[in-house]
Structure 1
Amino acid sequence: MNTATSSLKEKWALLKSERPHLRIRNAAQELEVSEVALLATQIPDTTIRLKSDFTAILSEVQTLGKVMALTRNNECVHERKGIYLNPDFSSPHAGLFVNADIDLRIFIGQWASAFAVVEKSERMERKSLQFFGKDGEAIHKIYLTPASDEAAFDLLVAKFKSEDQSPEQAVEKIEIQIDERMDDEIDVKGFQNDWENLQDTHHFFSLLKKYQVTRTQALRLAPSAHYAQAIDKQAIVTLLETAASQQIPIMVFVGNRGNIQIHTGEVKKTMWHENWYNILDPDFNMHLDMSKVAQTWIVRKPTEDGEVTSVEVFNEMGEIIVQFFGKRKPGIPELTSWKELIASLS
């Protein structure tokens, strides 16, 4: 262990002794290092470096049984319990898990390192698999639950343990650059016409690329307020409280550079905790830092099955934080109850 790593390990040990409930992500921010650099200092005590064979590891997570999947960005945390069924890494663009519980869109080219972690406390051990990007930010974490198979976890870790158990982890700084062209440089009429003639919500991203517009710029330049309408962020609370009280099944998308995680179903318990607005259900939790919400929009996109309506939430950089949809599948029109709920927000 080099001197810098040894010093970092000692600094974190001191922080933990002073504030035992401080999360590693917050500790890394305070120490001005990446989360993965801080985690690596725990090798070999509580952390094991795994091989970078991410698709093979993920394809075997099913053996662990019911686990908790966690995907987050700086403003929102998405936690979903279930079994990792139906892995599909056949596409060069995105890997998939598609089922009722664990529903992921995985951009494996953004993944850089993997670890098995055992967090020890006075009461329990918490075992997890943790995956990080090139910048050292966490992309995805998988935590064992009381229903998980710990023996299968140990077998998986042994199988994919890396020969490299160095406590140092190099990272690349990734600058966030959202270059927005001037509105008068864009073929606004062409863009609006193509939006009005969309056949699939997934084609919206291609539309942004075609006209070289950012997502929030696209919403500003929408064909009309019917297609994109800015609303107050308090509408997020109204949306979730109404969905819970009326038991309207929804979809909640939260992602980062390397992964998007989706919950589909009803939500029941919602509540505030300081500046965080939360969904706290047995198999699904969401934690949204409302203080970091800069823009909230109602967005409508035409499809072959009729319009699809979402509420899209952005940070100050114009990056998407979370998206809410009514529960739907291809070939099935949007829920009337969802349409009515959205209409009540505008």
Structure 2
Amino acid sequence: MSAPHPVIREAFGQLRREARLRHRDIAEKLNLSEGGLIAAHVGNARDTTDSPLQATRLRAEWPALIEALEPLGVVMALTRNAHCVHEKTGVYRKASHHGQMGLVLGGDIDLRLFYAQWAHGFAVSEDTDKGTQRSLQFFDASGMAIHKIFLRPESHLAAYLELVEQFRAEDQHPGLTPIARPTAEPEQPDSHIDIEAFRQGWASLRDTHEFFGLLKRFAVSRTQGLRLADPRFAQQVDLASAQEVLNAAAQENVSIMVFVGNAGMIQIHTGTIGKVVVMGPWLNVLDPGFSMHLREDQIASAWVVRKPTIDGMVTSLELFDAHGDTIAMFFGERKPGKPELCEWRGLIDRLLHTSPEVVCAA
């Protein structure tokens, strides 16, 4: 049983001031989910607590809320999983949804949203040394963070406040009751899988989006599918491959796509990268408008993956943790109807120490 909400708020304030810990780390110390930590601050009046944070619970009208974000102007979008954080600055343009699936195709902000996983949302205001930080934060039923949107100095504060009032929930009592995340089903034995049919299905792909359906049809996990694939389509590579590829992409000005996500969100960066920095276990991209922070020590396997499409082969570098969960995926920049960049294939060929299939034009 968690501590009373005033106790949580006081502990948060102390840890935030003295240890400078992130919300996620404070929640772990207090044996809470991150969503539970934020929810404990709903209804918090700053004049009666030591906590610098205040939260407003939002109605669970997620597609409408996301589609109402454009008037806020430039904001910072943050999506993370256990081992990687992806931050993009831009405007939430061209937001749409079909059922429980959503899209934001605003150029800099490029998202795939899976609303069935969304359970809780809050408008969060926190006093910091640099002033008041305002954000919108969304969590799944267990209280795990799905997506966060942070205002920047150039954001339109009046539009933000109007949006918070528009989507403010009637229930402003603190706290949430977490629901445990379902455990992943164990992989079926390789011997139960028609490997030949699976490989034929892979070779017959015509779109990268068909890959998830292929895995589902044969009831294999992603990493199991990579293990069972024809070697021409999946090759395991060194755990340091991401660092090698990102450094080469930065040095050679190759435009790439960086996918980072969780069960409720995938966030994508498309473009060149500049500053690649290693800090302890963290592999970082630190560019204006885009940052990535990846725990290299949590990479359990790395794969070069190829998928046939009507536009030719699409090649990715994919990273997985010890549970088989995806940490991050890297592609060359591409759009439907166009083949992937020759320069990207060259980076991957060098990673694999193979001769390039196609020589890029000078």
Q: Per the shorter chain, which TM-score range?
A: over 0.9
Tell me if 1:270 matches 2:276.
yes
Q: Which residue of 1 aligns with 2:34?
A: 35
* 2:185 matches 1:174: no
Q: For each residue in 1:62-97, what CA deviation from the matched residue of structure 2 results, as whole angstroms up to 9, or x when unmatched?
A: 0100100000000000000111001111x2251101
The amino acid of 1:319's aligned partner reads D
Task: For 2:267, give the aligned amino acid.
Answer: Q
**Whole-angstrom CA distance in 2 between matches of 1:121 and 1:67:** 18
One-letter amino acid matched to 2:328: V
1:62 aligns with 2:62: no
Structure 2 counterpart of 1:155: 162
Correspondence for 2:206 among 195, 199, 207: 199
Q: Which residue of 2 aligns with 1:12?
A: 12
Output the CA distance in 2 between the equivalents of 1:3 and 1:247: 51
Alpha-carbon distance in 2 for matches of 1:318, 1:281: 29
In structure 2, C-alpha distance between the alignment counterparts of 1:297 and 1:234, rounded to whole Å: 11
Structure 1 CA distance for aligned equivalents of residues 185 and 328 of structure 2: 18
Q: Distance in 2 between matches of 1:28 and 1:260?
A: 23
Going from structure 1 to structure 2, the CA distance change for 1:215 and 1:3 (only over 3 Å counts) comes to closer
Provide the secondary structure at the position in 2 that maps to 1:148.
coil
C-alpha deviation, 1:147, in angstroms: 1.5
Q: Report the more deviating stretch, 161-170 or 71-80.
A: 161-170
- Deviation of 1:3 (Å): 6.4
Partner SS, residue 309 of structure 2: coil
- 1:203-239 alpha-carbon deviations (Å, 9 max, x no partner): 0111101111111011111112x21010112111010
Alpha-carbon distance change, 275 to 3 in structure 1, aligned in 2, over 3 angstroms: closer
Q: Structure 1 pair 35/98, CA: closer, same or farther in 2 (3 Å)? A: same
Secondary structure of 2:327's partner? strand
Contact preservation (8 Å) 2:63, 2:96: no
Change (3 A) 1:328 1:3: closer
Residue by residue, what CA displacement relative to the aligned partner does 1:101-143 show, whole Å, maximum 9, x if unpaired? Answer: 1111100011011111111113311111111110101100000
- 1:24 alignment counterpart: 23
Shift of 1:178: 4.2
Q: Secondary structure at the match of 2:209?
A: helix
What TM-score, normalized to structure 1? 0.96
- Alignment partners' CA distance in 1, 2:222 and 2:308: 17
- What's the counterpart of residue 143 of structure 1? 150
Counterpart of 2:127 in structure 1 is 120
Q: Does 1:82 align with 2:90?
A: yes
How many percent identity over aligned positions? Answer: 44
Cα distance per residue 1:298-346 (max 9 Å; x no partner): 0000000100000000000001110000000011011110001001111
Q: Distance in 1 between matches of 2:108 and 2:346?
A: 26
RMSD: 1.3
- Residue 221 of structure 1: which of 207, 222, 228 is its match? 228
User: Residue 73 of structure 1 corresponds to which residue in structure 2?
Assistant: 81
Q: Secondary structure at the match of 2:293?
A: strand
| Alignment partners' CA distance in 1, 2:128 and 2:270 | 33
Residue in 1 that maps onto 2:333:
327
Say if 1:274 and 1:127 are closer, same or farther in 2 by CA, change over 3 A.
Answer: same
Q: Would you say the 8 A contact 1:178–1:214 is kept in 2?
A: no
**Using the alignment, how far apart are the partners of 1:111 and 1:244 within structure 2?**
35
1:140-170 superposed Cα distances (whole Å, 9 cap, x missing partner): 0000112210111111111111111111111
Confirm or deny: 8 A CA contact 1:277 1:290 kept in the other structure: yes
Task: Name the residue aligned to 1:286.
Answer: 292
- The answer on whether the counterparts of 2:89 and 2:109 sit within 8 Å (CA) in structure 1 is yes
1:234 aligns with 2:240: yes
Structure 1 unaligned segments of length 5 or more: list them: none
Deviation at 1:271, TM superposition (A): 0.1
List structure 1 segments (4+ residues) > 6 angstroms apart after TM superposition.
none
| Other-structure match for 2:57 | 49
Q: How does 1:256-267 map to 2 (within 5 A)?
A: 256-267=262-273
Compute the displacement of 1:49 (Å).
1.0
Secondary structure in structure 2 of the residue aligned to 1:147: coil
Q: Is the 8 A contact 1:51 1:161 kept in 2?
A: yes
1:338 aligns with 2:337: no
Matches within 5 A, 1:97-108: 97-108=104-115
Q: Quick check: 78-87 or 170-179, which moved more?
A: 170-179
Structure 1 counterpart of 2:189, which letter?
M
1:253 paired residue number: 259
Whole-Å Cα distance in 2 between the matches of residues 185 and 103 of structure 1?
38
2:300/2:322 contact within 8 Å kept: yes
Contact 1:312–1:323 (CA under 8 A) maintained in structure 2: yes
**Alpha-carbon deviation of 1:171?**
1.1
Task: Select 2:319's aligned residue among 282, 292, 313.
Answer: 313
